[in-house]
Amino acid sequence: MGIVAGLDSSPDSTRIVVCDADTGSVLRTGVAPHPLPEGGARTSDVDPQAWLLSLGEAAGGGLLEGVQAIGVSAQQNALIPLDTQGNTVRPALVGGDKRAQVAAADLIDALGGREAWAHAVGCVPQAAQPVTKLRWLSRSEPDNARRAAVLMQAHDWLVWQLLGRPVRRTTDRGGASGTGYWSPAAGTYRPDLVELALGHQAMLPEVIGPAEAAGTTPEGLLISAGTGSTMAAALGLGLGVGDAVVSLGASGSVMAVHPEALQDPSGMITSLADATGMHLPVVTTLNAVRTLRGAAELLGVGDLEGLSELAMKSTPGAHGLVLLPYLEGERTPSLPHTAGTLAGLRRESMKPEHFARAAFEGMLCGLADALDVLRGRGVEVRRVFLLGPAAELPAVQAAAPALFGAQVVVVQPADYGAIGAARQAAWALGVSQGTLDARTPPVWQGAVAQVLDPGAELAVGQAVRQQFVSVREQTHPGAFRV
Protein backbone atom coordinates (compact mmCIF):
# COMPACT_ATOMS: atom_id res chain seq x y z
CA MET A 1 0.00 0.00 0.00
CA GLY A 2 2.97 2.35 0.39
CA ILE A 3 4.03 4.20 3.51
CA VAL A 4 2.12 5.74 6.40
CA ALA A 5 3.01 7.81 9.45
CA GLY A 6 1.94 7.84 13.06
CA LEU A 7 2.49 10.75 15.40
CA ASP A 8 2.23 10.57 19.17
CA SER A 9 1.86 13.86 21.04
CA SER A 10 2.78 13.14 24.65
CA PRO A 11 2.80 15.68 27.50
CA ASP A 12 6.44 16.53 26.70
CA SER A 13 7.10 15.92 23.02
CA THR A 14 5.93 14.78 19.60
CA ARG A 15 7.26 11.55 18.14
CA ILE A 16 6.68 10.54 14.54
CA VAL A 17 7.33 7.17 12.92
CA VAL A 18 7.08 6.48 9.21
CA CYS A 19 6.22 2.85 8.50
CA ASP A 20 5.78 0.43 5.63
CA ALA A 21 2.00 0.12 5.40
CA ASP A 22 2.10 -3.64 4.70
CA THR A 23 4.61 -4.87 7.29
CA GLY A 24 4.84 -2.13 9.89
CA SER A 25 8.61 -1.82 9.53
CA VAL A 26 9.76 1.57 10.84
CA LEU A 27 11.51 3.43 8.04
CA ARG A 28 12.13 6.86 9.56
CA THR A 29 11.58 8.63 12.88
CA GLY A 30 11.42 12.19 14.13
CA VAL A 31 11.08 13.73 17.58
CA ALA A 32 10.81 17.23 19.01
CA PRO A 33 10.04 18.52 22.51
CA HIS A 34 7.07 20.78 23.11
CA PRO A 35 8.29 24.35 23.60
CA LEU A 36 8.28 25.35 27.25
CA PRO A 37 5.90 28.10 28.33
CA GLU A 38 7.08 31.38 29.82
CA GLY A 39 8.74 30.62 33.14
CA GLY A 40 10.21 27.38 31.82
CA ALA A 41 8.02 24.93 33.74
CA ARG A 42 5.22 22.73 32.44
CA THR A 43 1.87 23.27 34.14
CA SER A 44 -1.70 21.96 33.92
CA ASP A 45 -2.56 24.84 31.54
CA VAL A 46 -1.06 24.43 28.05
CA ASP A 47 -1.50 26.42 24.86
CA PRO A 48 -2.26 23.68 22.28
CA GLN A 49 -0.37 25.67 19.64
CA ALA A 50 2.74 24.28 21.34
CA TRP A 51 1.73 20.83 20.11
CA LEU A 52 1.55 22.08 16.52
CA LEU A 53 4.95 23.75 16.78
CA SER A 54 6.45 20.52 18.10
CA LEU A 55 4.75 18.51 15.34
CA GLY A 56 6.17 20.79 12.67
CA GLU A 57 9.67 20.47 14.08
CA ALA A 58 9.46 16.67 14.39
CA ALA A 59 8.27 16.40 10.78
CA GLY A 60 11.10 18.58 9.44
CA GLY A 61 13.72 17.52 6.93
CA GLY A 62 11.28 15.82 4.56
CA LEU A 63 10.31 13.16 7.12
CA LEU A 64 6.80 12.80 5.68
CA GLU A 65 7.83 12.68 2.03
CA GLY A 66 5.83 10.01 0.19
CA VAL A 67 3.49 9.37 3.14
CA GLN A 68 -0.09 8.56 2.06
CA ALA A 69 -1.86 8.56 5.43
CA ILE A 70 -1.29 9.81 8.96
CA GLY A 71 -2.66 8.60 12.29
CA VAL A 72 -2.63 10.71 15.44
CA SER A 73 -2.17 9.54 19.01
CA ALA A 74 -2.13 12.04 21.86
CA GLN A 75 -2.12 12.38 25.61
CA GLN A 76 -5.43 11.52 27.20
CA ASN A 77 -7.55 13.66 29.53
CA ALA A 78 -6.63 16.97 27.88
CA LEU A 79 -9.68 19.23 27.63
CA ILE A 80 -9.73 21.97 24.99
CA PRO A 81 -12.77 24.26 25.24
CA LEU A 82 -13.46 26.27 22.07
CA ASP A 83 -15.80 29.17 21.41
CA THR A 84 -18.29 29.37 18.55
CA GLN A 85 -15.51 30.55 16.19
CA GLY A 86 -13.29 27.56 16.99
CA ASN A 87 -10.82 29.55 19.07
CA THR A 88 -9.59 28.33 22.45
CA VAL A 89 -11.50 29.83 25.35
CA ARG A 90 -8.51 29.29 27.62
CA PRO A 91 -5.37 27.11 27.57
CA ALA A 92 -5.99 23.36 27.45
CA LEU A 93 -6.43 21.64 30.82
CA VAL A 94 -4.09 18.66 30.81
CA GLY A 95 -2.93 15.83 33.06
CA GLY A 96 -4.09 14.89 36.53
CA ASP A 97 -5.14 18.39 37.51
CA LYS A 98 -5.26 18.47 41.32
CA ARG A 99 -7.39 21.61 41.18
CA ALA A 100 -10.28 19.40 40.07
CA GLN A 101 -10.27 16.98 43.02
CA VAL A 102 -13.15 18.74 44.79
CA ALA A 103 -15.02 18.91 41.48
CA ALA A 104 -14.76 15.11 41.14
CA ALA A 105 -16.38 14.60 44.54
CA ASP A 106 -19.10 17.13 43.65
CA LEU A 107 -19.92 15.30 40.43
CA ILE A 108 -20.08 11.90 42.14
CA ASP A 109 -22.63 13.26 44.59
CA ALA A 110 -24.57 15.19 41.93
CA LEU A 111 -25.40 12.04 39.95
CA GLY A 112 -26.20 9.93 43.00
CA GLY A 113 -22.95 8.19 43.83
CA ARG A 114 -20.22 5.99 42.38
CA GLU A 115 -22.55 3.23 41.22
CA ALA A 116 -24.62 5.69 39.18
CA TRP A 117 -21.50 6.88 37.34
CA ALA A 118 -20.22 3.33 36.77
CA HIS A 119 -23.56 2.42 35.23
CA ALA A 120 -23.69 5.60 33.12
CA VAL A 121 -20.19 5.73 31.61
CA GLY A 122 -18.17 2.82 33.04
CA CYS A 123 -16.03 4.92 35.38
CA VAL A 124 -16.21 7.10 38.47
CA PRO A 125 -15.07 10.74 37.98
CA GLN A 126 -11.43 11.46 38.79
CA ALA A 127 -9.56 14.75 38.80
CA ALA A 128 -7.87 14.04 35.45
CA GLN A 129 -11.01 13.41 33.40
CA PRO A 130 -12.49 16.04 31.07
CA VAL A 131 -15.93 15.81 32.71
CA THR A 132 -14.37 16.76 36.05
CA LYS A 133 -12.39 19.58 34.47
CA LEU A 134 -15.65 20.91 33.05
CA ARG A 135 -17.09 21.02 36.56
CA TRP A 136 -13.98 22.85 37.79
CA LEU A 137 -14.28 25.31 34.89
CA SER A 138 -17.92 26.06 35.65
CA ARG A 139 -17.12 26.70 39.32
CA SER A 140 -13.77 28.50 39.01
CA GLU A 141 -13.98 30.30 35.65
CA PRO A 142 -17.70 30.81 34.97
CA ASP A 143 -17.12 33.34 32.17
CA ASN A 144 -14.90 30.88 30.30
CA ALA A 145 -17.39 28.10 30.98
CA ARG A 146 -20.21 30.14 29.41
CA ARG A 147 -18.09 30.76 26.28
CA ALA A 148 -17.25 27.05 25.85
CA ALA A 149 -19.31 25.95 22.84
CA VAL A 150 -17.22 23.03 21.55
CA LEU A 151 -15.29 20.45 23.58
CA MET A 152 -12.29 18.62 22.17
CA GLN A 153 -9.40 16.47 23.36
CA ALA A 154 -5.78 16.59 22.23
CA HIS A 155 -5.97 14.06 19.40
CA ASP A 156 -9.33 15.43 18.20
CA TRP A 157 -7.89 18.93 18.04
CA LEU A 158 -4.71 17.86 16.23
CA VAL A 159 -6.66 15.88 13.62
CA TRP A 160 -8.93 18.90 13.12
CA GLN A 161 -5.92 21.18 12.64
CA LEU A 162 -4.25 18.81 10.17
CA LEU A 163 -7.45 18.79 8.11
CA GLY A 164 -7.59 22.61 8.05
CA ARG A 165 -10.24 23.09 10.75
CA PRO A 166 -13.25 21.74 8.79
CA VAL A 167 -16.85 22.14 9.97
CA ARG A 168 -16.94 18.43 10.80
CA ARG A 169 -15.10 17.54 14.00
CA THR A 170 -14.40 13.88 14.80
CA THR A 171 -13.00 11.62 17.48
CA ASP A 172 -12.77 7.87 18.03
CA ARG A 173 -14.41 5.63 20.61
CA GLY A 174 -11.12 5.11 22.46
CA GLY A 175 -10.60 8.81 23.10
CA ALA A 176 -14.30 9.41 23.79
CA SER A 177 -14.35 6.65 26.43
CA GLY A 178 -11.95 8.61 28.64
CA THR A 179 -14.03 11.78 28.78
CA GLY A 180 -16.53 10.74 31.45
CA TYR A 181 -19.44 11.73 29.19
CA TRP A 182 -19.42 8.86 26.65
CA SER A 183 -20.61 5.36 27.47
CA PRO A 184 -18.46 2.48 26.15
CA ALA A 185 -21.31 0.04 26.83
CA ALA A 186 -23.92 2.01 24.89
CA GLY A 187 -21.52 3.60 22.41
CA THR A 188 -23.17 7.00 22.82
CA TYR A 189 -22.52 10.37 24.44
CA ARG A 190 -24.29 11.42 27.63
CA PRO A 191 -25.01 15.11 26.92
CA ASP A 192 -26.83 15.32 30.25
CA LEU A 193 -23.51 14.72 32.01
CA VAL A 194 -21.88 17.53 30.03
CA GLU A 195 -24.69 19.81 31.19
CA LEU A 196 -24.37 18.53 34.75
CA ALA A 197 -20.67 19.42 34.74
CA LEU A 198 -20.52 22.55 32.58
CA GLY A 199 -23.94 24.04 33.23
CA HIS A 200 -25.03 23.97 29.57
CA GLN A 201 -24.79 21.83 26.45
CA ALA A 202 -21.78 21.97 24.13
CA MET A 203 -20.95 20.54 20.72
CA LEU A 204 -19.06 17.24 20.86
CA PRO A 205 -16.97 15.60 18.10
CA GLU A 206 -18.61 12.89 16.00
CA VAL A 207 -17.40 9.43 17.06
CA ILE A 208 -16.32 7.60 13.90
CA GLY A 209 -15.42 3.94 13.43
CA PRO A 210 -11.94 2.49 14.06
CA ALA A 211 -11.12 2.12 10.36
CA GLU A 212 -12.85 5.29 9.15
CA ALA A 213 -10.93 8.30 7.90
CA ALA A 214 -11.48 11.64 9.61
CA GLY A 215 -10.88 13.28 6.24
CA THR A 216 -8.34 14.11 3.56
CA THR A 217 -6.11 17.16 3.39
CA PRO A 218 -6.19 19.41 0.30
CA GLU A 219 -2.95 17.69 -0.72
CA GLY A 220 -4.70 14.29 -0.70
CA LEU A 221 -3.20 13.00 2.55
CA LEU A 222 -5.62 10.73 4.40
CA ILE A 223 -5.99 11.38 8.13
CA SER A 224 -7.36 8.47 10.18
CA ALA A 225 -9.62 8.75 13.23
CA GLY A 226 -6.79 9.10 15.75
CA THR A 227 -7.03 7.89 19.34
CA GLY A 228 -5.69 8.27 22.87
CA SER A 229 -2.16 7.25 23.79
CA THR A 230 -3.23 4.15 25.76
CA MET A 231 -5.33 2.82 22.90
CA ALA A 232 -2.62 3.61 20.33
CA ALA A 233 0.00 1.74 22.39
CA ALA A 234 -2.31 -1.29 22.60
CA LEU A 235 -2.71 -1.21 18.81
CA GLY A 236 1.03 -0.76 18.33
CA LEU A 237 1.75 -3.77 20.55
CA GLY A 238 -0.79 -5.88 18.68
CA LEU A 239 -2.76 -6.82 21.81
CA GLY A 240 -5.71 -9.20 21.61
CA VAL A 241 -8.08 -11.06 23.91
CA GLY A 242 -6.04 -12.83 26.60
CA ASP A 243 -3.40 -10.09 26.68
CA ALA A 244 -2.86 -7.70 29.58
CA VAL A 245 -0.39 -4.85 30.02
CA VAL A 246 1.30 -3.97 33.30
CA SER A 247 2.89 -0.51 33.14
CA LEU A 248 5.59 0.19 35.70
CA GLY A 249 5.76 3.91 36.31
CA ALA A 250 5.95 5.70 39.66
CA SER A 251 2.39 4.43 39.92
CA GLY A 252 1.25 1.30 38.14
CA SER A 253 -1.57 0.37 35.80
CA VAL A 254 -2.99 -2.88 34.53
CA MET A 255 -5.17 -3.09 31.44
CA ALA A 256 -6.46 -5.95 29.33
CA VAL A 257 -8.35 -6.51 26.12
CA HIS A 258 -11.95 -7.64 26.68
CA PRO A 259 -14.92 -8.06 24.34
CA GLU A 260 -17.35 -6.20 26.61
CA ALA A 261 -17.49 -2.99 28.62
CA LEU A 262 -17.29 -3.57 32.38
CA GLN A 263 -19.24 -1.66 35.01
CA ASP A 264 -17.61 -1.50 38.44
CA PRO A 265 -19.45 0.39 41.17
CA SER A 266 -16.37 0.26 43.42
CA GLY A 267 -14.56 2.52 40.94
CA MET A 268 -11.47 0.27 40.80
CA ILE A 269 -12.05 -0.49 37.11
CA THR A 270 -12.09 2.28 34.52
CA SER A 271 -13.85 0.94 31.44
CA LEU A 272 -12.24 2.31 28.29
CA ALA A 273 -12.83 1.43 24.65
CA ASP A 274 -9.89 0.51 22.44
CA ALA A 275 -9.05 1.58 18.88
CA THR A 276 -10.34 -1.62 17.21
CA GLY A 277 -13.89 -2.15 18.51
CA MET A 278 -12.94 -4.00 21.71
CA HIS A 279 -12.64 -2.71 25.28
CA LEU A 280 -9.76 -1.90 27.64
CA PRO A 281 -10.67 -2.20 31.33
CA VAL A 282 -7.95 -0.49 33.40
CA VAL A 283 -7.03 -0.82 37.08
CA THR A 284 -4.52 1.59 38.65
CA THR A 285 -2.25 1.30 41.68
CA LEU A 286 -0.61 4.33 43.26
CA ASN A 287 2.59 2.54 44.26
CA ALA A 288 4.86 0.88 41.72
CA VAL A 289 8.39 2.11 40.97
CA ARG A 290 8.11 4.70 43.77
CA THR A 291 8.19 1.65 46.09
CA LEU A 292 11.53 0.60 44.63
CA ARG A 293 12.96 4.11 44.79
CA GLY A 294 11.96 4.40 48.43
CA ALA A 295 13.60 1.06 49.22
CA ALA A 296 16.78 2.10 47.40
CA GLU A 297 16.97 5.34 49.40
CA LEU A 298 16.37 3.53 52.69
CA LEU A 299 19.11 1.01 51.96
CA GLY A 300 21.52 3.62 50.62
CA VAL A 301 21.64 1.96 47.19
CA GLY A 302 22.45 4.38 44.40
CA ASP A 303 19.97 3.22 41.75
CA LEU A 304 17.35 0.62 40.88
CA GLU A 305 19.91 -1.57 39.15
CA GLY A 306 21.80 -1.78 42.44
CA LEU A 307 18.58 -2.56 44.32
CA SER A 308 17.81 -5.34 41.84
CA GLU A 309 21.30 -6.80 42.23
CA LEU A 310 20.85 -6.78 46.01
CA ALA A 311 17.41 -8.41 45.80
CA MET A 312 18.78 -11.23 43.65
CA LYS A 313 20.98 -12.26 46.59
CA SER A 314 17.82 -13.12 48.52
CA THR A 315 15.33 -15.90 47.70
CA PRO A 316 11.59 -15.98 46.85
CA GLY A 317 9.60 -14.96 49.91
CA ALA A 318 12.42 -12.73 51.22
CA HIS A 319 12.90 -14.94 54.30
CA GLY A 320 9.35 -14.17 55.43
CA LEU A 321 9.46 -10.39 54.92
CA VAL A 322 6.29 -8.95 53.38
CA LEU A 323 5.97 -5.32 52.31
CA LEU A 324 2.50 -3.88 51.71
CA PRO A 325 3.68 -1.03 49.47
CA TYR A 326 0.94 1.49 50.22
CA LEU A 327 3.43 4.32 50.67
CA GLU A 328 1.20 7.01 49.13
CA GLY A 329 -2.03 5.47 50.33
CA GLU A 330 -3.54 3.16 47.74
CA ARG A 331 -6.28 3.11 45.16
CA THR A 332 -6.38 -0.67 44.61
CA PRO A 333 -7.45 -1.61 47.23
CA SER A 334 -9.15 1.64 48.22
CA LEU A 335 -7.02 2.76 51.17
CA PRO A 336 -6.36 6.44 50.44
CA HIS A 337 -5.16 7.36 53.93
CA THR A 338 -3.13 4.31 54.90
CA ALA A 339 0.66 3.79 54.98
CA GLY A 340 2.94 0.94 54.01
CA THR A 341 3.45 -2.09 56.27
CA LEU A 342 6.50 -4.31 56.76
CA ALA A 343 5.62 -7.67 58.32
CA GLY A 344 7.52 -10.84 59.15
CA LEU A 345 10.55 -9.29 60.82
CA ARG A 346 12.80 -11.90 62.40
CA ARG A 347 16.46 -11.75 63.25
CA GLU A 348 17.44 -13.83 60.23
CA SER A 349 15.35 -11.71 57.85
CA MET A 350 16.85 -8.37 58.92
CA LYS A 351 19.31 -8.10 56.04
CA PRO A 352 19.39 -5.56 53.22
CA GLU A 353 18.96 -8.16 50.49
CA HIS A 354 15.76 -9.51 52.04
CA PHE A 355 14.23 -6.04 52.34
CA ALA A 356 15.19 -5.33 48.71
CA ARG A 357 13.52 -8.58 47.63
CA ALA A 358 10.41 -7.73 49.70
CA ALA A 359 10.17 -4.36 47.92
CA PHE A 360 10.13 -6.02 44.48
CA GLU A 361 7.69 -8.71 45.58
CA GLY A 362 5.43 -6.18 47.32
CA MET A 363 5.26 -3.99 44.23
CA LEU A 364 4.52 -6.94 41.95
CA CYS A 365 1.97 -8.46 44.33
CA GLY A 366 0.15 -5.12 44.42
CA LEU A 367 -0.04 -5.25 40.62
CA ALA A 368 -1.12 -8.91 40.81
CA ASP A 369 -3.99 -7.70 43.00
CA ALA A 370 -4.97 -5.36 40.17
CA LEU A 371 -4.79 -8.25 37.68
CA ASP A 372 -7.05 -10.26 39.97
CA VAL A 373 -9.65 -7.48 39.92
CA LEU A 374 -9.90 -8.00 36.16
CA ARG A 375 -9.80 -11.79 36.38
CA GLY A 376 -12.57 -11.64 38.97
CA ARG A 377 -14.76 -9.92 36.38
CA GLY A 378 -14.19 -12.60 33.77
CA VAL A 379 -11.28 -11.00 31.91
CA GLU A 380 -8.96 -13.60 30.40
CA VAL A 381 -5.25 -13.11 31.12
CA ARG A 382 -2.85 -15.50 29.35
CA ARG A 383 0.03 -13.11 28.64
CA VAL A 384 1.20 -10.06 30.54
CA PHE A 385 3.15 -7.41 28.62
CA LEU A 386 5.49 -5.63 31.03
CA LEU A 387 6.25 -2.01 30.11
CA GLY A 388 8.50 0.66 31.57
CA PRO A 389 12.25 0.89 32.24
CA ALA A 390 11.88 -1.14 35.47
CA ALA A 391 10.68 -4.09 33.37
CA GLU A 392 14.32 -4.62 32.37
CA LEU A 393 15.46 -5.19 35.97
CA PRO A 394 16.52 -8.81 36.66
CA ALA A 395 14.65 -8.87 39.99
CA VAL A 396 11.41 -7.90 38.22
CA GLN A 397 11.87 -10.47 35.48
CA ALA A 398 12.78 -13.21 37.97
CA ALA A 399 9.66 -12.73 40.10
CA ALA A 400 6.91 -11.43 37.79
CA PRO A 401 5.88 -14.60 35.86
CA ALA A 402 5.34 -16.71 38.97
CA LEU A 403 3.63 -13.92 40.93
CA PHE A 404 1.34 -13.00 38.02
CA GLY A 405 0.67 -16.65 37.21
CA ALA A 406 1.07 -15.97 33.49
CA GLN A 407 3.57 -15.75 30.68
CA VAL A 408 5.36 -12.39 30.84
CA VAL A 409 6.42 -10.54 27.69
CA VAL A 410 9.10 -7.85 28.08
CA VAL A 411 9.06 -5.81 24.89
CA GLN A 412 11.97 -3.87 23.51
CA PRO A 413 11.49 -0.11 24.09
CA ALA A 414 9.88 1.57 21.08
CA ASP A 415 7.40 4.33 20.23
CA TYR A 416 4.37 2.05 20.48
CA GLY A 417 1.90 4.94 20.62
CA ALA A 418 3.21 6.34 17.34
CA ILE A 419 3.42 2.84 15.81
CA GLY A 420 -0.20 2.21 16.80
CA ALA A 421 -1.24 5.49 15.21
CA ALA A 422 0.59 4.50 12.02
CA ARG A 423 -1.13 1.10 12.04
CA GLN A 424 -4.48 2.86 12.31
CA ALA A 425 -3.51 5.05 9.35
CA ALA A 426 -2.62 1.96 7.31
CA TRP A 427 -5.97 0.42 8.24
CA ALA A 428 -7.96 3.46 7.12
CA LEU A 429 -5.87 3.71 3.94
CA GLY A 430 -6.43 0.03 3.12
CA VAL A 431 -10.18 0.30 3.69
CA SER A 432 -10.36 3.41 1.48
CA GLN A 433 -8.51 1.51 -1.27
CA GLY A 434 -10.64 -1.62 -0.84
CA THR A 435 -7.70 -3.82 0.18
CA LEU A 436 -8.49 -4.22 3.91
CA ASP A 437 -11.57 -5.22 5.90
CA ALA A 438 -13.00 -2.50 8.15
CA ARG A 439 -13.43 -5.12 10.90
CA THR A 440 -9.77 -6.21 11.08
CA PRO A 441 -6.63 -4.06 11.36
CA PRO A 442 -3.63 -4.90 9.17
CA VAL A 443 -1.39 -7.68 10.45
CA TRP A 444 1.97 -6.13 11.28
CA GLN A 445 5.12 -7.74 12.60
CA GLY A 446 5.05 -8.07 16.38
CA ALA A 447 7.18 -6.17 18.86
CA VAL A 448 10.66 -7.52 19.55
CA ALA A 449 10.33 -9.12 22.96
CA GLN A 450 11.72 -11.48 25.56
CA VAL A 451 9.19 -14.11 26.72
CA LEU A 452 9.36 -15.39 30.30
CA ASP A 453 7.35 -18.40 31.50
CA PRO A 454 6.55 -19.21 35.17
CA GLY A 455 7.68 -22.81 34.65
CA ALA A 456 8.73 -24.69 37.75
CA GLU A 457 8.71 -21.47 39.80
CA LEU A 458 4.93 -21.12 39.59
CA ALA A 459 4.17 -22.96 42.83
CA VAL A 460 6.80 -20.99 44.74
CA GLY A 461 5.54 -17.73 43.32
CA GLN A 462 1.95 -18.49 44.25
CA ALA A 463 3.06 -19.31 47.80
CA VAL A 464 4.75 -15.89 48.01
CA ARG A 465 1.60 -14.34 46.62
CA GLN A 466 -0.53 -16.07 49.25
CA GLN A 467 1.84 -14.85 51.96
CA PHE A 468 1.26 -11.29 50.71
CA VAL A 469 -2.52 -11.76 50.61
CA SER A 470 -2.56 -13.12 54.18
CA VAL A 471 -0.68 -10.10 55.52
CA ARG A 472 -2.89 -7.74 53.54
CA GLU A 473 -6.06 -9.32 54.94
CA GLN A 474 -4.73 -9.31 58.49
CA THR A 475 -3.69 -5.66 58.24
CA HIS A 476 -6.64 -4.35 56.25
CA PRO A 477 -9.46 -6.87 56.71
CA GLY A 478 -12.19 -6.59 54.10
CA ALA A 479 -10.52 -3.74 52.23
CA PHE A 480 -10.00 -5.80 49.11
CA ARG A 481 -12.72 -7.89 47.55
CA VAL A 482 -12.39 -9.24 44.00
Backbone φ/ψ region at 387: left (φ over 0), alpha (ψ -120 to 50), beta: beta
432: which residues sit within 8 A by CB, 6+ positions away?
Answer: 213, 222
Q: Which of 279, 290, 371, 297 is nearest to 326 (CA)?
A: 290
Cα–Cα distance, 174 to 154 (Å, whole number): 13
Taking only the tens of pLDDT, the chain with its 482 residues reads 699 999 999 999 999 999 999 999 999 999 999 998 877 677 889 999 999 999 999 999 999 999 999 999 999 999 999 999 999 999 999 987 788 989 999 999 999 999 999 999 999 998 899 999 999 999 999 999 999 999 999 999 999 999 999 999 999 999 999 999 999 999 999 999 999 999 999 999 999 999 999 999 988 999 999 999 999 999 999 999 999 999 999 999 999 999 999 988 778 899 999 999 999 999 999 999 999 999 999 999 989 999 999 999 999 999 999 999 999 999 899 898 999 999 999 999 999 999 999 999 999 999 999 999 999 999 999 999 999 989 999 999 999 999 999 999 999 989 999 999 999 999 999 999 999 999 999 999 888 899 999 999 999 999 999 999 999 999 999 987 65
Other beta carbons within 10 Å of 10: 19
pTM, two decimal places: 0.92
Tell me the C-alpha distance between 59 and 32, whole Å: 9
Sign of CA dihedral 481, 231, 167, 164: positive
